[in-house]
Structure 1
Amino acid sequence: MNFYTSSYTEHVGPGLSGNGIGIQYFNINPTTSKITLLESYETINPGYFALNPKEELLYTFQERQQNLAPKLLCFKTDQGKLELLQSLEINGGLPCHILHLKKYNCLMVSCYETGNFLKYDLDENGIPLPFSQNIKYTGGSINQERQEGPHAHLSYYDKAHDLLLLVDLGNDKIYSLKYQNNQFVQTNEVSVPAGGGPRHLIQHPNSNYCFVSNEMTGEVSLLKWQNNAWQWIKNVSIMTQDHNNVASASAIKLSICGRFIYCGVRSTNSISILKFDPDTEALNLIEEVPTQGITPRDFEISPDGKLLIVGNQDSESLVVFSVCEDSGMLEVVEKVDGVRSVCCVGFGGSF
């Protein structure tokens, strides 16, 4: 199995910087879990990336403030070797997430600093064209330091209901949009408890539930599809450890079976494991597993569901855990030091 990482290479914003290389491509032996670096490519602050296996493309951006003119980047990839094909203006600041939406042949880029979501159409070869839609909301929420206005953090495609979901940390909202006449048009919105700061979202395999990680309170919001819209059901804490009233949840991922939710917690350097029962809607924290490093910003579960790889951003390490299918528990099986400032992990295969 092969996977990519991206890393921060310079100052990003207040309190956030890195000294990474850019994009790296690794092999992990599925039997021994040994990790081997195959390729490296230097590029500025590729904070997140998305893959297009059909066209053998990797999409990313420069996570930079608006005054530094960040760019959207498109690379051709051959066994992890990257060739830059396109560089386009990003009309925003601190892009932090990118989605490849195959059905509508476009990319969605979420810009944290400026609070907007940008749509880039793709040509017949998957190459991005200049942005064709700029979606931005107004408002804010109760945390005046972090929620003085909208802060776009993630876009997600809800295939079952044909909706684009936009997660706004600044407004404590998740917006639902339909595709009409080459544009995304809002149809609904759902709020999570004020001050939560929704960051990332995943969807249950049965499509009737979503789980939202709230960065600022260290809670997961359970959403349910009912009355033809997403509705908030409840929040569940992902921490029992003392975090000095400063929570910092990061990525959220789901086991293949849908019974276990994994949440990164940067304030406690751990991954919290929750168990979900769709029959009763019970969502319970069952374990907090140390990541053997500092600042687990992102992690990913292998396509076969057997391994979880976490990037510890501030301790320069990748750590591999085995995943128990029955219990959801994690066990360390490999650690690689010297992988600097990792901010995104994604399985890409060889295309």
Structure 2
Amino acid sequence: MKYTGYIGTYTKKDSKGIYSFSLDTDEAKLTDVKLEAEIGGPTYLKITDDKKYLYSIAKDEGQGGVASYAIDQNTGGLTFLNQQLADGPNPCHVNTDSERRFLFSANYHKGTVDSYVLNQDNGTISPAVSTIQHTGSGPDHRQEKAHVHYAGMTPDEKYLITVDLGSDLLVTYTVSEQGELAEANRLEIPGGSGPRHLTFHPKRENIAYIMTEFSSEIIVLNYDSSNGSFSIMQSIGAIPDDFTENNQGSAIHITSDGKFVYAGNRGHNSIAVFRVDDESGKLTFVENTSTEGDWPRDFVLDPSEKFLIAANQETNNLVLFSRDAETGKLKLLQSDINAPEPICLKFL
């Protein structure tokens, strides 16, 4: 089987925009890294559930925002549709609801979350209908103000969840029929942890996992759908206790069977593997696997979940691992696939 993947990138050095690649699961090889769309700063990507559209972060001449592309169902090629830009820095995260009614972006530099209405007929993005400014700070010197880093719907799609790295907050919002946001609840994350990304358990919708950037740990949460509140059940480290150099947590993903959680470590340059307890949803550490490069900003499971691909930002390489479905452990297959400034990986 051949799968098409996409690479979101920085465009500060050699990258020109959004790239694609191929994974051949029969040969267990990554190939064909090529430019698909020339655009500034497409650091995060979202492919809609119906696979028709790709949404991207965008920036251009002092403005930042979001862009939309139609996906060619035969070739995987991208056709630019439109973009919505505003003055100032570009966002860092983009997401949609499952029905492709709304698009949400999180802006690290501005400390804001934005919501947009999507055109159901052609996938284009309307101007922002809601912009929420976060406030606050944290004890770490990098937490001088709010830095919203993630925005995504709960599995029941009753709420939008935002994770604020700068003020150690998880904030829950309701989303109106017009796409407007209103705060419903919030959870204070331990000070200085720097919550960065979040994923929900695919089988148990009341369990979620946060990866922290500064404390390099996963925080296991219980979600109450009645009011959008969360409570902390467990915190577990993602790097060895004796590692004292700089490390910053990056991405977090969970397998579709809910049995394993994977988390990225920039600095320790590893993927941490955790087994999920079937009853409680709590985690047990399995191992750290080297990403064979520097600063793994993101990684992705392929659609078969037999493979995991990591993206090393500083060494400009993709790394392919096979994945043992019983143990969760990773085995290195390929580490020499060049990709410029890789930041985000998504499969079609």
Q: Match for residue 342 of structure 2?
A: 342
Question: Which residue identity lines up with residue 27 of structure 2 in the other structure?
Answer: T
State the Cα RMSD in Å: 2.0
Assess if the C-alpha contact under 8 Å between 1:239 and 1:272 holds in 2. yes
Question: Secondary structure of the equivalent of 1:37?
Answer: strand
Question: Which residue identity lines up with residue 182 of structure 2 in the other structure?
Answer: V
Q: Match for residue 3 of structure 1?
A: 5
Q: CA–CA distance in 2 between the matches of 1:19 and 1:197?
A: 30
Assess if the C-alpha contact under 8 Å between 1:63 and 1:96 holds in 2. no
Q: Match for residue 124 of structure 2?
A: 127
Q: Match for residue 13 of structure 1?
A: none
Among 27, 30, 33, the alignment partner of 2:28 is 33
Question: Which residue identity lines up with residue 345 of structure 1 in the other structure?
Answer: L
Assess if the C-alpha contact under 8 Å between 2:217 and 2:237 holds in 1. yes
Structure 1: stretches of 5+ with no match in the other structure: 11-17
CA deviation after TM superposition for structure 1 residue 279, in Å? 1.9
Structure 2: stretches of 5+ with no match in the other structure: none
- % identical aligned pairs: 27
CA deviation after TM superposition for structure 1 residue 337, in Å? 3.0
Assess if the C-alpha contact under 8 Å between 1:264 and 1:271 holds in 2. yes
Assess if the C-alpha contact under 8 Å between 2:104 and 2:151 holds in 1. yes
Q: Normalized against structure 2, the TM-score is what?
A: 0.91
Question: Secondary structure of the equivalent of 1:129?
Answer: strand
The aligned runs of 1:233-252 (5 Å cut-off) are 233-240=233-240, 242-244=242-244, 246-252=246-252
Q: CA–CA distance in 1 between the matches of 2:225 and 2:48?
A: 34
Q: Match for residue 15 of structure 1?
A: none
Q: Normalized against structure 1, the TM-score is what?
A: 0.90
- Asked if 1:222 corresponds to 2:220, the answer is yes
Q: Match for residue 75 of structure 1?
A: 69
CA deviation after TM superposition for structure 1 residue 339, in Å? 1.2
Q: CA–CA distance in 2 between the matches of 1:63 and 1:96?
A: 11
Q: Match for residue 39 of structure 2?
A: 43
Question: Which residue identity lines up with residue 217 of structure 1 in the other structure?
Answer: S
After superposition, the Cα gap between the structure-2 partners of 1:21 and 1:89, relative to the gap in structure 1 and judged at 3 Å, is closer
Among 192, 195, 199, the alignment partner of 2:192 is 195
Deviates most, 281-290 or 32-41: 32-41
1:228-264 deviation digits (Å, cap 9, x = unpaired): 4311122111110644353300000111221211000
The aligned runs of 1:217-296 (5 Å cut-off) are 217-226=215-224, 228=226, 229-240=229-240, 242-244=242-244, 246-296=246-296
Q: CA–CA distance in 1 between the matches of 2:231 and 2:317?
A: 38
CA deviation after TM superposition for structure 1 residue 62, in Å? 2.5
Assess if the C-alpha contact under 8 Å between 2:294 and 2:314 holds in 1. yes
CA deviation after TM superposition for structure 1 residue 82, in Å? 2.4
CA deviation after TM superposition for structure 1 residue 327, in Å? 0.5
Among 95, 114, 117, the alignment partner of 1:118 is 114
Q: CA–CA distance in 2 between the matches of 1:35 and 1:181?
A: 42
Assess if the C-alpha contact under 8 Å between 1:47 and 1:63 holds in 2. no
CA deviation after TM superposition for structure 1 residue 77, in Å? 2.6
Deviates most, 38-47 or 151-160: 38-47
- Asked if 1:148 corresponds to 2:144, the answer is yes
